[in-house]
Amino acid sequence: MRAMNRQDRDTRLVELVRARGTARIEDLSGELGLAPSTIRRDLRRLAGSGRVVRTYGGAMAGGNGAVNAPGTGPRAYAEKRRIAVAAAALVGDGQTIAISSGTTAIEFARELVGRRDLTVITNSLDVAGVVVDIPGIQLVVLGGVVRPRMHSLLGHLTEQACREVRADVLFMGIGAVSLERGLMNDYMPEILTDRALRGIAGSVVVIADSSKFETLAPAFVFGLEEVDVIVTDSGIDPAVVRELSARGIRVVVA
């Protein structure tokens, strides 16, 4: 079998990540017969061009190679990138911020390059993997049980660790936002951890694309009265923006 050139490797990697949703470096290495260091370098390059989203220990579909499910695909990825840039503009030097899990949170973390004396607290292994080597950032990773595929840390260990730290702002991804029912997610075991993260922060910035608004998910997190700022994209219904603003929530449309 002839050795694959870079273009062949890129095509095959994107195909595998797209087919599986998420893929580990070790699995891709075995599948393609390539060294983990080569896979790691290729995934970093593909993430830079938006064809995959780099995660802790691998990659997930979410860029130009993603399936066209709700919240994925090229358009959704571009929206997440714009949201990430706009949210990062709210972060100042010397702050302590908390970041939850989620694909938008990962993109937000990538935009923190260049900050000075910034402390990042997170329960996301993927967010941690993004910021761990960025100069000027001190990283605090909350312990806990790892949720497969999402790579978030959950449970009583995470909640106990939250009692020992404080943050100026929590930047929070969310599964659903309703004017009537507040913030919701689809994974019930994560709710208490989400609330613990809220408890450590002086204010809350929700980072969510417009597809999340006026939808429902089975697990209630907390009410909109706990939210200070929402960063979203231009697809949000103007009537929803007006109602949020009337409630004293600042809406940043990226």
Of 54-68, 73-87, 240-254, highest mean pLDDT = 240-254
67 is a domain residue: no
149 and 214 fall within a common domain = yes
Please count the helices (runs of H) and the strands (runs of E) in the chain: 9, 15
**Which pLDDT score, from 0 to 100, does residue 144 have?**
95
pTM exceeds cut of 0.85: no
**Which pLDDT score, from 0 to 100, does residue 70 have?**
44
**Which pLDDT score, from 0 to 100, does residue 98 have?**
98
154 and 84 fall within a common domain = yes
User: Alpha carbon of 232 to those of 9, 104, 137, 188: distances in Å?
Assistant: 35, 10, 25, 24
152 and 53 fall within a common domain = no
- Counting the structural domains of the chain, the total is 2
**Which pLDDT score, from 0 to 100, does residue 16 have?**
86
Q: What is the CATH number of the domain that holds 44?
A: 1.10.10.10
43 and 168 fall within a common domain = no
> pLDDT confidence of 46, banded at 50, 70, 90?
confident
120 and 235 fall within a common domain = yes
User: Alpha carbon of 4 to those of 19, 34, 41, 151: distances in Å?
Assistant: 20, 10, 15, 31
Give the mean pLDDT of the chain: 89
DSSP codes joined into one string, 194-211: HHHHHHHEEEEEEE--GG
65 is a domain residue: no
Mean pLDDT along residues 231-254: 97
State the residue for tokens 């019930």. Answer: 188
Q: CB of 115 within 8 A of CB of 88? A: no
> pLDDT confidence of 137, banded at 50, 70, 90?
very high
Reply yes or no on whether the pLDDT at 69 is more than 70. Answer: no
Q: What is the CATH number of the domain that holds 238?
A: 3.40.50.1360
Give the domain extent around 244: 73-253
| Cα gap 158→122, rounded to integer Å | 10
68 is a domain residue: no
Reply yes or no on whether the pLDDT at 187 is more than 50. Answer: yes
> pLDDT confidence of 60, banded at 50, 70, 90?
confident
